[in-house]
Amino acid sequence: MSTSQTLSFPSPLYGGRLTVDLQAIASNWRFLNGKTRAETECAVAIKGDAYGTGQEKVAPALFEAGCRTFFAAVPTEAIQLRKILPGAVIYALDGLFPGTHEHYLAHDIRPVLGCLEELEEWTVVCKAAGRSFDAAVHVDTGIHRLGLSAAEFTSAMTDKDLLGPFRPSLIMSHLACGSAPDNPMNRRQLDQFREITAPFADVPRSLANSAGVLMGPDYHFDLVRPGISVYGGQAIETEPNPMAPVARVEARIMIVRDVPEGDTIGYGATQIARRPLRNAVVAAGYADGMLRRASSTDDRPGGFGMIGGYRAPILGRISMDMITLDVTDVPEHLLKRGAFVEMLGPHVAASDLAAYAETIDYEYLTSLGRRFERVYGPLT
């Protein structure tokens, strides 16, 4: 299958443009794969439309790079992914929705069974067929979201009457504090996962997300399932991000105007011009994934864009369809009507924007709006 990156001709009808670099995504996956032990498989989490980058294009690029196991979230994501990748192993992280097992079987989707009720329902299906259908079993080691408790897991895995012919294809858990490697929670979860799964070492095991991959081989087991790092995000907050950026958001300049000293900018009059300003209004807003929490006020700076190497701070509130930028110190020849401003990308890291918005880069990537023109090609 081809993953060639042919740039489409830019359309003047779009207010913004989202460029996704498929080769950078594939390169990030190969980097992470190279960090694992030789016997460890490197899968990928591709939920949330490949973290906002577009599953339809990204999945084939990752498969071509060598990835063979993919983790979607809900069954509809997994079924769509199956249409794209007929030869891949596909798990649905959100588990087995009640009464839907026929859809999982019809599309060869493996649910990640996260509670006793799901496990019991799946084993009934296996008993009726007299065979084991592939599924993962999720054991909770402290995050207290999905997953059987340690006691439930041990009891279920040793109850031959309960399991019948079913044998898990994977045992997994999930790190709660991987973004902070020094947090003692990581070691507690690792020790607990190793202890409770040791009697079942003949079943492949998985604990590591992106941060777990970067924390070293103790966390790798038989399969790792990175997500945010594949898409250029920062998995570990306390260290430089080694991943290549994969996406760039550019917003079109609609108007450049003067703002007299003392006037206010935007909804709520939350920011006053402390000097005569030049501002540029660009065609992107929170409806496009530019989070409103990154707005600027007199008391708190907001995010920024980049124009030809010049930083342009956000002025006032981000609105649904527009952002106002301070371009007072940007050369006039860069401020032509219709020109593009980088709002996220190689020069405006999603993690930096996330800090202004008091969130994480995951939210920025998965929130990228559908109004942008989507282009697949290199960012440089």
Q: How confident is the model over 98-157, as pLDDT tens digits? A: 999 999 999 999 999 999 999 999 999 999 999 999 999 999 999 999 999 999 999 999
CATH of the domain at 301: 2.40.37.10
Residue 240 lies in a domain: no
pLDDT above 80: residue 311: yes
Residue 39 lies in a domain: yes
Residue 239 lies in a domain: no
Query: In sequence order, what are the beta bridge partners of 72?
Result: 92
At 10 the pLDDT is: 61
Find the domain containing 313 and state its range: 247-376
- The answer to whether residues 91 and 185 belong to one domain is yes
Is residue 138 a contact partner of residue 114, using CB atoms and an 8 Å limit?
yes
Question: What's the CA gap between 116 and 118, in Å, rounded?
Answer: 5
At 380 the pLDDT is: 79
- The answer to whether residues 52 and 101 belong to one domain is yes
At 154 the pLDDT is: 96
Q: Could you give the number of structural domains in the chain?
A: 2
User: Tokens 């001709």 identify what position?
Assistant: 9
Tell me the one-letter amino acid at 22. Answer: L
Question: What's the CA gap between 155 and 200, in Å, rounded?
Answer: 12
- The answer to whether residues 204 and 343 belong to one domain is no
CA angle 135, 136, 141 (to 5 degrees): 160
Q: What is the DSSP letter of 139?
A: B
Question: What's the CA gap between 297 and 285, in Å, rounded?
Answer: 17
Dihedral of the alpha carbons of 173, 177, 182, 186, in degrees to the nearest 10 = -20
47 is catalytic: yes
Share of the chain above pLDDT 70, in %: 97
- The answer to whether residues 257 and 294 belong to one domain is yes
pLDDT band at 256 (very low <50, low <70, confident <90, very high): very high
Q: What is the DSSP letter of 6?
A: P
First to last CA, the chain: 25
Taking the model in full, what pTM does it have? Answer: 0.93
User: Tokens 């929130």 identify what position?
Assistant: 367
Question: What's the CA gap between 74 and 51, in Å, rounded?
Answer: 14
Nearest to residue 2, comparing CAs of 73, 90, 61, 85? 61
Average pLDDT value for residue range 361-380: 89
- The answer to whether residues 89 and 201 belong to one domain is yes
- The answer to whether residues 307 and 349 belong to one domain is yes
Residue 57 lies in a domain: yes
Question: Considering 188, 204, 231, which residue would you say is the last residue of a domain?
Answer: 231
Question: What's the CA gap between 80 and 84, in Å, rounded?
Answer: 7
Residue 306 structure tokens = 């980049």
Residue 237 lies in a domain: no
Residue 25 structure tokens = 């995504």
Question: Considering 196, 231, 266, which residue would you say is the last residue of a domain?
Answer: 231
pLDDT above 60: residue 274: yes
Nearest to residue 61, comparing CAs of 88, 34, 91? 88
- The answer to whether residues 95 and 195 belong to one domain is yes
Would you tell me the crossing angle of helices 55-65 and 75-84 to the nearest 10 degrees?
60
At 3 the pLDDT is: 39
List, for residues 158-200, the tens digit of each pLDDT value. 999 999 999 999 999 999 999 999 999 999 999 999 999 999 9
CATH of the domain at 146: 3.20.20.10
pLDDT band at 369 (very low <50, low <70, confident <90, very high): confident
- The answer to whether residues 37 and 112 belong to one domain is yes
pLDDT above 90: residue 1: no
Nearest to residue 246, comparing CAs of 226, 232, 236, 229? 232
Dihedral of the alpha carbons of 288, 71, 75, 231, in degrees to the nearest 10 = 10
Residue 274 lies in a domain: yes
pLDDT above 90: residue 4: no
Q: Chain-wide mean pLDDT for the chain?
A: 94
SS3 88: coil
What residues contact residue 280 under an 8 Å CB cut-off, 6+ apart? 253, 255, 256, 307, 312, 324, 325, 327, 330, 335, 341
What residues contact residue 308 under an 8 Å CB cut-off, 6+ apart? 330, 331, 334
Residue 242 lies in a domain: no
At 165 the pLDDT is: 95
Residue 17 lies in a domain: no
pLDDT band at 370 (very low <50, low <70, confident <90, very high): confident
- The answer to whether residues 361 and 264 belong to one domain is yes
Share of the chain above pLDDT 90, in %: 91
List, for residues 13-62, the tens digit of each pLDDT value. 889 999 999 999 999 999 999 999 999 999 999 999 999 999 999 999 99
Average pLDDT value for residue range 267-281: 96
Q: Which of 35, 57, 83, 267 is catalytic?
A: 267
At 2 the pLDDT is: 38
At 172 the pLDDT is: 98
Question: What's the CA gap between 21 and 187, in Å, rounded?
Answer: 35
pLDDT above 80: residue 5: no
Residue 64 structure tokens = 């071509």
- The answer to whether residues 93 and 193 belong to one domain is yes
Is residue 90 a contact partner of residue 113, using CB atoms and an 8 Å limit?
no
Q: What is the DSSP letter of 10?
A: P
CA angle 30, 33, 37 (to 5 degrees): 155
Q: Which of 14, 35, 47, 364 is catalytic?
A: 47
- The answer to whether residues 169 and 309 belong to one domain is no
- The answer to whether residues 216 and 71 belong to one domain is yes
